[in-house]
Amino acid sequence: MACTTILIGKAASFDGSTIIARNEDSPGGQFEPKKMHVVSPEEQPRTYTATASHVTIELPDNPMRYMSVPDALPGHGIWAAAGINEANVAMTATETITSNERVLGADPLVELRPAHGREGEEDFEPEVPGGIGEEDMVTLVLPYIRSAREGVQRLGELLERYGTYEMNGIAFSDVDEIWWLETVGGHHWIARRVPDDAYVTMPNQLGIDSFDLADAEGAQKEHMASADLRSWMAKNHLDLTLSSGSVGFAAKASSTSPVADIFNPREAFGSHSDSDHVYNTPRAWYMQRCLNPSDRWDGPAAALSPESDNIPWCRVPERKLTIEDVKYVLSAHYQGTPYDPYGKLGTEATRGLYRPIGINRNGQLAVLQIRPDRPESCRGVQWMAFGSNVFNALVPFYTNVDEAPAYLENTTERVTSESFYWANRLIAALADARFRENSAHIERYAEKVGALGHQMLRETDAVIADLEAEAAPHLLKDANERMAKDLKRETEKLLSNVLFTTSLSMKNAFAMSDN
């Protein structure tokens, strides 16, 4: 799936939290309804079979409860997407990323091979299951990990054993660390710890641009990887680093190429295709343009352009970053540039040149915040938005609860404004038709809902600080329900305003009144 991710280290965030966030976008021509759902230990499967690849995996007997954002309609898998478990470990999976022919030839993706012929006949070939993918990863990993580092280790073991049928990036966070894992071919992977003082932008490309293989093979302080990564890279001539006296190299046989201790995975494993320059790199360019605005981003003297292949994987921001910053960049449509499809700058051609971040196919945005200055009982907060991010608002919910509010969980096939998901889809379709007239309604709504969310967190945190831990889930559930009630009220107001404004501009309007 096409998605956009941002990760913010604890020293770069406004309150010392670790923050990981991702837009989950449907493929072209699809709009996948989503819901918010708490998975209890009793609901978690003990034998898991993937819908897409048919792989069957036995799971441990001790799962933890966790929040999730699965597909709302049954039939093609869970796609749990994002959540925080009861140990306050967060996971978002996955960001679809790119690769190249050399990697996929050296370690092919593990794709489902359907049965061929008829059973019992001489030419019959039984089905061969594929590996794991985005459909599966949160369900297979999040209920069993107690740190971000453990998340990397568990997923890495699953990838090495079962393989994957797609290239993906996965984020894990706890109160201290954020780790980013990228799959490399069918069975290999790399993972890097996000620097505490930095943020990371990921726009559907393999992103890590510097990797310390010696650390991954040793202390694993900041890097982890498949155990055989160096030998596999050497055998298949994947490292493109030029030899230098200042860089360590190692190779075991004359038939292999030496591999630098520090190399660039984006060059070795990633892509720089023409389509990347339209679909992927412009998104990283714009996010970093927003978060490091003092750099020169425009004109012939710009250090980086929307089509640059060397946009950094991580950067130190110019100031501490907020939840609102996350929402803005993950809703962006190139505001203030010639590439804004709703803007007046540039030309008709430039306004449709690059793929926006806030796109019609946004299904959900989950911003996962682990707060260090709160008790463990209320440390995890999952901020949620449904539908196209240009037209929605981000709302916080505590994750140490047994169930999600009905307004966010009751997504069904039936289109109804009683569902938060469908209300947002209706608002977006109406507001998009008259963007300029409706944009003020959207901005006021987002500000009002965001303020209510911060107020709810502040007031609830103050009460829960004086309670025993076992009393917290009930109080947090009540707070979530109040938040959902306020959210429903404000969303219905917005729907009414947008409907009225767009109705005034219908093509069959006529100036002469019937009265």
Contacts of 321 (CB under 8 A, 6+ apart): 8, 12, 13, 14, 19, 199, 291
Question: Any idea which residue has 């490292």 for tokens?
Answer: 239
Three-state DSSP at 246 gives: coil
DSSP 87-140: TS-EEEEEEE----HHHHHHS-----B--BS-TTSTT-B--B---B-TTTHHHH
Contact of 289 with 325, CB cutoff 8 Å: no
Contact 240, 268 (CB under 8 A): yes
Give me the count of residues in the chain.
Answer: 515
Q: Which residue has the tokens 């949620």?
A: 384
Q: Which residues does 473 contact at the CB level (< 8 Å), separation at least 6? A: 377, 400, 401, 402
178-184 and 168-173 as β-strands: parallel, antiparallel, unpaired? antiparallel
**What is the torsional sign of CA 318, 323, 328, 329?**
positive
For residue 39, which of 79, 8, 94 has the smallest C-alpha distance?
Answer: 79
Tokens of 405: 């509010």
Q: How far apart are CA 115 and CA 128, in angstroms?
A: 7
Dihedral angle of Cα 263, 265, 268, 271, to the nearest 10 degrees: -150
* Spatial distance between the Cα atoms of 484 and 399, rounded to a whole number of angstroms: 14
**The one catalytic residue among 3, 290, 314, 378:** 3
Contact at 8 Å (CB) between 210 and 124? no
Is residue 314 flagged as an active site residue? no
The residues near 32 (Cβ < 8 Å, ≥ 6 apart) are 26, 71, 73, 79, 363
Residues 148/173, Cβ–Cβ less than 8 Å: yes
> Among all residues, which ones are annotated catalytic?
3
